[in-house]
Structure 1
Amino acid sequence: MKGKLITVEGIDGSGKGTQAELLVEALKKAGKKVKMYSFPAYETTFFGGEIGAFLRGEFGTFDDVHPKLASILFASDRLEQKPALIRDLDDGFYVICDRYVESNAAHQSAKFAESERSGFIEWIKTLEYKVNQLPKPDMTFFLDLPIEFSKELVLKKKKRSYTDEKEDIQEAQHGYLEKVYHVYKQLEISESWLKIDCVNEDTLLPIETIHKIILNRVLSEQ
């Protein structure tokens, strides 16, 4: 039986990695075959290492690197891992991804004027899904975390492997995450993602509550 590709998306600080890991563990306990992929793979792929250099500012400032070039870096990291990902799906695994193609679309298109974003999103989809022929997700969960919560949670993140700074060059750019969030909201509507509101009446939902929502939805789709 063909496996399922499940992706977890959201702005920085929304808990994508945590929720992906919890889902993996819960599905394993339920007797499912599961693999997890985190993009970028900063420490395990050639292009993951180059993305770390980009985010540290080694290729220039935020404005120096054209979004197309940055997009190709992120897409190439996924392309490196494509053979293993395809093999796992063919072997019937649930493949859980912390970020996927749509992260590339949201983060890089946010660098354009609003009128140019939809065209660039289509360019990224062509690159990743048609040229690189990555499989499309069966389910995409969007962790909808308002920007005022995101900024605070980014600063509370543990030390990242690719930088010693509290924020990388994208996170530190004034107004950038707000634009990324706006693009994610547009994608959520146009792509019919499974949206999870991470805040209720100005209160952040418990991690376990969000996890149960995701798990129940995944298991109901068997």
Structure 2
Amino acid sequence: MTAGKLIVIEAPDGSGKKTQSELLVERLKKAAHPVKKVEFPNYKSPASALVKMYLQGDFGENPEAVNPYAASAFYAVDRFASFLQEWQEFYLKGYLIVADRYTTSNLIHQGVKFSSSEAREAFFTWVWDFEFKYLALPKPDLVFFLDMPPQYSQQLIARRKNKFTGKTQKDIHEINEIHLRQAYENACWLAEKYNWHKIACVKEGVIKPVSTIHEQIYTLLKKELKKA
């Protein structure tokens, strides 16, 4: 039995990942592809408890209060539980798995906590080994990076509710403009390093329509699936 493919929609906060992943899943279903959507963190699971505590500021209101290795472990455990309980069976049956965030988010958000490139690179290596070697989680086959500069994504963040509380209060990443800017810059660098597919979400100072961004993603995905 051939394993499926893991397709990740990635970007810093407020870039439309949830919307685009949902649109992609619906489009793939209409095209008769076996597909399953997953979302990280999985706030419905008890495994996300430490992630929630971190994001709501229980360990400190500044993201820097929790070292990147510890924070990454919180998220990794959530992904591990999700894989075993929710999508391993589908992945092994050959389904396309569309993920709203994945391990790549740890690289984006936690990678900004290092002052030297050497320490950051060592962290990236550790994350890769921890999740894909020792936890044996699937590696992404394709990553689509939604390139939405923070001055635009902050507009979207301001209008939406907190994903796990349902309230207007934002988490410690979303309220920290310095963190959002650094995460965006790091994501752009990572996209080049790991050959992610960069999807430009802004044109001439205006956020592109949701449908236009979706078409960019789907067109690229069709090309990649034909190569397989």
TM tier, smaller: over 0.9
Q: Which amino acid aligns with 1:24?
A: V
Q: Structure 1 unaligned runs (5+)? A: none
Pair 1:14-2:15 in alignment: yes
Deviation at 1:154, TM superposition (A): 1.0
Q: Which residue of 1 aligns with 2:69?
A: 68
Deviations 1:24-51, CA, capped at 9 Å, x for gaps? 01111111111000000012x2221321
**Quick check: 2:146–2:201 contact (8 Å CA) kept in 1?**
yes
Structure 1 runs (4+) greater than 4 angstroms displaced: none
Corresponding residue for residue 57 of structure 1:
57
SS at match of 2:99: strand
Distance across 2 between alignment mates of 1:160 and 1:50: 15
Which segment is superposed worse, 191-200 or 63-72?
63-72
Task: Work out the percentage of aligned pairs sharing the same amino acid.
Answer: 38
1:59 Cα deviation from its structure 2 partner: 2.5
Q: Structure 2: which 5+ runs fail to align? A: none
1:104 is matched with 106
CA shift for structure 1 position 114: 4.4
Q: Residues of 2 paired with 1:161 and 1:145: CA distance?
A: 23
The DSSP-based 3-state class of the residue aligned with 1:5 is strand
* 1:181 maps to 2:184: yes
Residue pair 1:52, 1:162 contacting (<8 A) in 2 also = no
Structure number having the greater helix percentage: 2
- Length-normalised TM-score, structure 2: 0.91
Equivalences, count: 221
Are 2:42 and 1:41 equivalent residues in the alignment? Answer: yes
C-alpha contact 2:39 2:101 (8 A) present in aligned 1: yes
* 1:21 CA drift (Å): 0.3
Contact kept, 8 Å, 2:147 with 2:199, in 1: the verdict is: yes
What is residue 32 of structure 1 aligned with on the other side?
33
- Other-structure match for 1:77: 78
Task: For residue 192 of structure 1, report the CA deviation from its aligned partner.
Answer: 0.6
Aligned residues of 1:129 and 1:136 also touching (Cα < 8 A): yes
